[in-house]
Amino acid sequence: MLVCSALAVQSGIAADSPKGPVNTGRLAATSAKANPLLAASRLPYGFPEFDKIRNEHFAPAFDIGLKQHSAEIKQIAENKASPSFENTIVALERSGRLLSRVETVFSNLTATNTNPVLEQLSVELAPKLSAHQDQITLNGKLFERIAALYQQREQLGLDAESLRLLERYYTDFVRAGAKLNAEQKEKLKSLNSQLATLGTRFSQNVLKETNASALVVDSREELKGLSDSEIQTAAATAKSRGLDGKFVIPLMNTTGQPLLATLENRQTRQRLYEASVNRGSHGGSFDNRQVAIDLAKLRAERAQLLGYPNYAAYGLQSETAKTPEAVNNMLGQLAPAAVKNARAEAAELQKLIDAQQGGFQLAAWDWAYYTEQLRKARYAFDDSLLRPYFELNNVLENGVFYAATKLYGITFKERKDLPVYHPSVRVYEISDRDGKPMALFIADMYARDSKRGGAWMNSYAEQADLFGHKPIIANHLNIPQPPAGEATLLTMDEVRTAFHEFGHALHGLFSKVRYPRFSGTNVPRDFVEYPSQVNEMWATWPEVLTNYAKHYQTGQVIPQNLLDKVSAASRFNQGFATTEYIAASLLDQRWHQISADAIPSDALAFEQQALKQMGVDFAPVPPRYRTTYFSHIFGGGYSAGYYAYLWSEVLDADTVEWFKENGGLTRKNGDWFREKLLSRGGSIDPMESFRQFRGRDPKIQPLLERRGLQ
């Protein structure tokens, strides 16, 4: 998921700012006809004019946007009038609208439909944007104005949201180095520039390496166990890469690969697993071992410069967890039980291998395959029986959208009149419970070589009363696209992911705040996953499931006996699922809880030692992500924060219990959740919004029961 930065949010100059036009604004106006990025889109909701935007438009638009924003910041900082909330804080919220618009479109396209030109521009822009951010947060005159307001904040008569905004700006500037001396600021600028460049490089390496590491298979026999459709897709992928007569299996983002569950040929499974797990660590131009080391070292140095013992201490201070100790305590409590469960599951799988006279010890590439066999034996079904009932359009419109309509009263209408950046992308207009149009939703469901892995939500426009903005929200999945004319059938995991990401979308859609800084998902990372995880519950809610889970050929509703089996198997393999996640979370913490002088020289040796020391080095269950392709923490916004999914799941599991206790899928429940939590964004303390919704602090017992960790 992508969230706009706190300081490059919107633009314009406050009414009591110094008068007079900014020269770069004239340049933007005169160039707008030639460059669609330089003027607000005339399409509904300000939807980006994807049909007009070209690669060559971005560089000049960034140049003008940066100059315009710098001029606006200078006007705010050098305003002769005494600092006021309006001429300083609100002016900052209004500033940078052009730059924000350009950066939003650019960052979203580089994630969803990139090309070599955009990739090169990303590398060039990274240090420029970092320097621009430093120009703002390290501006002494600007900070003096913010600090003066902060010191007298109780006497300003501000409403609660405005007071919180002032406090957030002060805190953000201090955490960004505003109190450092001149020499320290120059050092910080250098570190920030290097970090921006390396983070971009890491992400690009992961995408390129993932594409380059796709498994090439010579014969159909080696793919035994796959469906005809999956084999045809592999053949078509090979043909598209100039490998006629062969088969290609692209890699997904995580260590585990979906087809490991059905490939019967053990050698093919091993090759697929090793192609995945060795990404970024076997030499070549996409190797990320040294990049990860350099990123960890620079982050540690930056944290130390800002007065923190390590990067985790710095990063977690602004999260709901607050300290590394709190995170370590949670993960440390759960890890032993998770690994114990995983070892028990492994013993069951080994019995199955031995009963079949396999003659080998369970390995990581065997886990999913024999787990599916055990699932079939224990619950008399396998995931392949479910897929015919999970056709993509049904899941989206009759499942995800249906649940949202029942809960919140919103309705959906597809818009085919708006331009999109890829033919497979769909756009829907959402109307609120009163029937009035409120937002646009972009559904980008399919995987492609130009799109980064994983699943996420992002915004092209965020709700903010300050500007009267209506949201434009997008969800992105990476579902393999079948051959033309064939149905897109999802796995149960892909169905849950669709509901999960739409939970993020709801957080953005229902935002009801004044300031862009607090809109929608602009909340701590260890809280942002909470609403999305709650929305997963509706994927298997009987009323919702029977509305979308219909056979793609016959229209038959999924049989009740199959539903019962899905429910019975819900805790199956939880030892594996919890262990792989906790291992990745602990690895993230280990990389970011060390000081700059303790950074290792060998990334993989450090990883192996760390997993062993933390008691999660169980070979059949590798971390969900290994260091060299752990984009969440080295290329994205989850550095020292990957624990957030489990932290949020405590709130999620408790909330699911509340819905069940109060009647489930009802408008009354949806309206309460929307009012007390989804609409608040970051305008109040997130845990306070939880308490207002739930009536108390969260309890961990529902999570322990869900994961089988009592």
**pLDDT for residue 12:** 25
Q: Which amino acid would we find at residue 317?
A: Q
Find out whether 506 and 408 touch, Cβ atoms under 8 Å.
yes
Q: What is the mean pLDDT of residues 96-101?
A: 97
Neighbouring C-beta atoms of residue 188, cutoff 10 Å: 20
Q: Residue 608: what are its φ and ψ, rounded to 5°?
A: -60, -45
Coil, helix or strand at residue 492? helix
Distance from C-alpha of 629 to C-alpha of 111, rounded to nearest angstrom: 16
Find out whether 417 and 582 touch, Cβ atoms under 8 Å.
no
CB proximity list for 200: less than 8 A, separation 6 or greater: 122, 123, 126, 635
Q: What is the mean pLDDT of residues 12-27?
A: 33
Distance from C-alpha of 19 to C-alpha of 481, rounded to nearest angstrom: 54
**pLDDT for residue 19:** 32
**Least confident span in 87-91, 232-236, 250-254, 377-381:** 377-381
Q: What is the mean pLDDT of residues 654-676?
A: 98
What is the percentage of the chain residues whose pLDDT exceeds 90? 89
To the query of whether residue 501 is one of the catalytic residues in this protein, the response is: yes
Give the pTM: 0.90
Q: Considering only CA atoms, which of 650, 676, 644 is closest in space to residue 662?
A: 676
Distance from C-alpha of 205 to C-alpha of 440, rounded to nearest angstrom: 32
Distance from C-alpha of 700 to C-alpha of 677, rounded to nearest angstrom: 19
Q: Considering only CA atoms, which of 704, 700, 691 is closest in space to residue 326?
A: 700
| Per-residue CA distances from 459 to 27, 441, 508, 522 (Å) | 27, 9, 8, 11
DSSP summary character for residue 666: -
Q: One of 209, 372, 391, 501 is an active-site residue; which one?
A: 501
Quick check: 207 pLDDT over 90?
Answer: yes
Q: Considering only CA atoms, which of 658, 689, 664 is closest in space to residue 675?
A: 689
Q: What is the mean pLDDT of the chain?
A: 93
Quick check: 5 pLDDT over 70?
Answer: no
Instruction: Band the pLDDT of 384: cuts 50, 70, 90.
Output: confident
Find out whether 517 and 165 touch, Cβ atoms under 8 Å.
yes
Structural Rg of the chain based on CA atoms: 25
CB proximity list for 288: less than 8 A, separation 6 or greater: 202, 205, 206, 209, 280, 281, 627, 628, 629, 634
Quick check: 382 pLDDT over 90?
Answer: no
Greatest alpha-carbon pair distance for the chain in Å reads: 84
Give the full edge-to-edge strand order of the sheet including 456-461: 411-414, 426-431, 437-446, 472-479, 456-461
What are 248-269's pLDDT values in tens digits? 999 999 999 999 999 999 999 9
Q: What is the mean pLDDT of residues 163-179?
A: 98
H/E element, 52 = none
**pLDDT for residue 380:** 80
Distance from C-alpha of 128 to C-alpha of 135, rounded to nearest angstrom: 10
Q: What is the mean pLDDT of residues 674-685?
A: 97
Find out whether 83 and 145 touch, Cβ atoms under 8 Å.
yes
Instruction: Band the pLDDT of 13: cuts 50, 70, 90.
Output: very low
